[in-house]
Structure 1
């Protein structure tokens, strides 16, 4: 994994600089999402690793599968990835691009795990409170984790706020052992 990130970083940096220079961070992010999804598909992985496909064939197949409407710069970016046999790195490139984009825009990712589904109003209030506490805008990703029993566990960067029943029970158990 660390090796993949090391290989993907220069491509993500280049994509970010191209997108920032064109004032198109949002469209590039969306396009990289589509490209990464296509590259992660099992059938496409088989095509990417197929030595019988030429670079031109693989490029055309990949563009056809990933969808139309890519800018010439983005098509050229895909061409570079194909020529350098780095197409399989697109998920990592996308992740690194999103990190750079978020840093540029002053946004952090917040992963919220909840024992129960959160309604829109509760999520909006929680997000507003977290943005105030962390003094930054947040992109939230919510997941359900019934093992929490109740409450939420929030991860923002390297900070974790565990306000779950399971976390409180674990803390109580640790305190009783001491």
Structure 2
């Protein structure tokens, strides 16, 4: 089973409980700080992943890293340790953030072009897809010279491919169909 498929139920449970208790903000902030501290402490990550470290020691580590996070988050992280899911903290966090973003009307888009975009071009693409999706877009841009030109936008599982490379492939396929 993939890390993501294992992490999603935890993220959803945390999201639904935090939403019900109206503590989504504090949970998101505390989880963010916890993940940041975890990333800054490679020794802590190694200890959490080590099978010979006791559950009690692992819980001490996460509670130390969680600092002054909301008690509900600390309890949630402890439950993850009890269930042997301490290597999934970051994946659960990322899934949790996607759920929060979705609730708040945000969506992440990855915009790929052959050459870097100007801020004006980037904003035009963002505006177009905000209109198309009805969501507020948080964009990441990438370049890929293999596209030749045009733009490819990925929003969630949906791919909008307006690249010249894809248009040329489609043109070639139509040409070959007509010759056959």
Q: TM-score with structure 2 length normalisation?
A: 0.77
**Corresponding residue for residue 166 of structure 1:** 165
Aligned length, in residue pairs: 176
Give me the whole-angstrom Cα distance separating, in 2, the residues matched to 1:119 and 1:19. Answer: 39
**Corresponding residue for residue 81 of structure 1:** 80
Give me the whole-angstrom Cα distance separating, in 2, the residues matched to 1:56 and 1:145. Answer: 48
Give me the whole-angstrom Cα distance separating, in 1, the residues matched to 2:85 and 2:35. Answer: 12
* Greater C-alpha Rg: 2
Give runs of aligned pairs for residues 115-154 of structure 1, distance below 5 A: 115-154=114-153
Q: Can you give the 5+ residue segments of structure 1 that lack an aligned partner in the other structure?
A: none
Give 4+ residue runs of structure 1 displaced > 6 Å after superposition.
Answer: none
Instruction: Return closer, same or farther for 1:89/1:122 CA change in 2, 3 Å cut-off.
Output: same
Deviation at 1:63, TM superposition (A): 4.6
Deviation at 1:164, TM superposition (A): 1.6
Give runs of aligned pairs for residues 18-57 of structure 1, distance below 5 A: 18-33=17-32, 35=34, 38=38, 46-57=46-57
Report if aligned partners of 2:27, 2:69 keep a CA contact under 8 Å in 1.
no
Report if aligned partners of 1:102, 1:108 keep a CA contact under 8 Å in 2.
yes
> For each residue in 1:42-63, what CA deviation from the matched residue of structure 2 results, as whole angstroms up to 9, or x when unmatched?
7555323323212222233345
Deviation at 1:173, TM superposition (A): 2.0
Instruction: Return closer, same or farther for 1:128/1:71 CA change in 2, 3 Å cut-off.
Output: same
Structure 1 vs Structure 2 CA RMSD:
2.9
Report the secondary structure of 1:90's partner residue: helix
